[in-house]
Amino acid sequence: MYEKARWLEQHADHFRKRMLNEPRGYPPMCCNILLPPTHPEAQAGYVIMEHVEYPGMSGSNTICVVTVLLETGILPMTEPVTDLVLEAPAGLIRVRAECSAGKVTRVTFRNVPAFAVHLDAMVEVPQLGSVRVDVAYGGMFYAIADATQFGLRLTPDEGRDIVRIGEMVKAAAREQLPVVHPEQPGFAGITISQLSGPAHDAAHHARNAVIVSTGTFDWDKPSTWTGSIDRSPCGTGTCAKMAVLHARGQLAVGQPFHHESVLGTVFTGEIVEETQLGGRRAIVPNLSGQGWITGFSQYVMDPTDPFQQGYTVGDIW
């Protein structure tokens, strides 16, 4: 599936642009292409598309893909539980879907191994100064920074500041802290940031805002310091955060981790076991959440359309 993602990126990127750019898409949107699996254990494969990259794995996208596969009948649903295996570009994803009355009520999947690369690393960020970050892989490489050092509570009204700070921290960390996956060199570099803070609900453990890039970052052009906040609690971001907490001795195997989004929605993570990845200490995380189908759309591409691959405009991008 990794090779399929690379082929789409190099030879058929018009699908991603057409679906995610305006007028069909908008900044926080993702797209998943369902494909036949290449691994004999998997029932379906999928390639995840975001605005500037093809991530190896995404938790919220996986939950959405499982929901669509089962609720639309692409794969058979068995109540009360459907077990299946999906093939993502990052590897096999084992899924347990709780189902009732034709609805997927909860999706739990075993993610690829997650691991911390840098703890408490200092990066120099123009305009912000010295910023302490953790870098971890949870399916993508994250730069994770404490939001309180910027005076942020991670609420929707802070969206503009969250995005600009997150993009600046990510760009600086990417330049100053190079990283490569020990077993898949195609996954290299920090491509996403996460601002982390205290939970707003006492029943949860932390709150996060993951910032997804929507363009090419240029230090000399502040107009490019834009992105969008993941509306979900972010599955791979939650796994990366758990890897950091475990590396610090703050999250044990089998201990639930309830992670809030800026909307107050929650993903629940749990470390299943410790493992090794290319000689590096890692964890195997489970993640649980729920998704909802909100509509069915039929899109049209007119050959006379001057914007066949869509467009972006600086008022929202």
- Decide if 207 contacts 181 (C-beta within 8 A): no
Q: What pLDDT is recorded for position 223?
A: 84
Of 165, 65, 113, which is closest to residue 272 (Cα–Cα)? 113
H/E element holding 45? strand 44-49
Q: What pLDDT is recorded for position 253?
A: 98
Active site residue 58: yes
pTM: 0.94
Decide whether 2-110 matches 115-287 in CATH topology. Answer: yes
Q: What pLDDT is recorded for position 56?
A: 94
Q: What pLDDT is recorded for position 139?
A: 94
C-alpha of 259 from chain center: 14
Which class in CATH covers the domain with range 2-110? alpha beta
Q: What pLDDT is recorded for position 317?
A: 80
Residue 88 and residue 42: Cα distance in Å, rounded? 10
Q: How many residues does the chain have?
A: 317
Q: What pLDDT is recorded for position 225?
A: 86
> What's the token pair of residue 74?
């692409």
CATH fold of 115-287:
Diaminopimelate Epimerase; Chain A, domain 1 (3.10.310)
Give me the residues of the chain with pLDDT under 70, please: none
Asked if the peptide bond before residue 80 counts as cis, ω within 30 degrees of 0, the response is yes
Instruction: Give the pLDDT confidence of 189-217 residue by residue, as tens digits.
Output: 999 999 999 999 999 999 999 999 988 88
Q: Domain residue spans in the chain?
A: 2-110, 115-287
Q: Which one of the listed residues 58, 60, 213, 232 is annotated catalytic?
A: 58
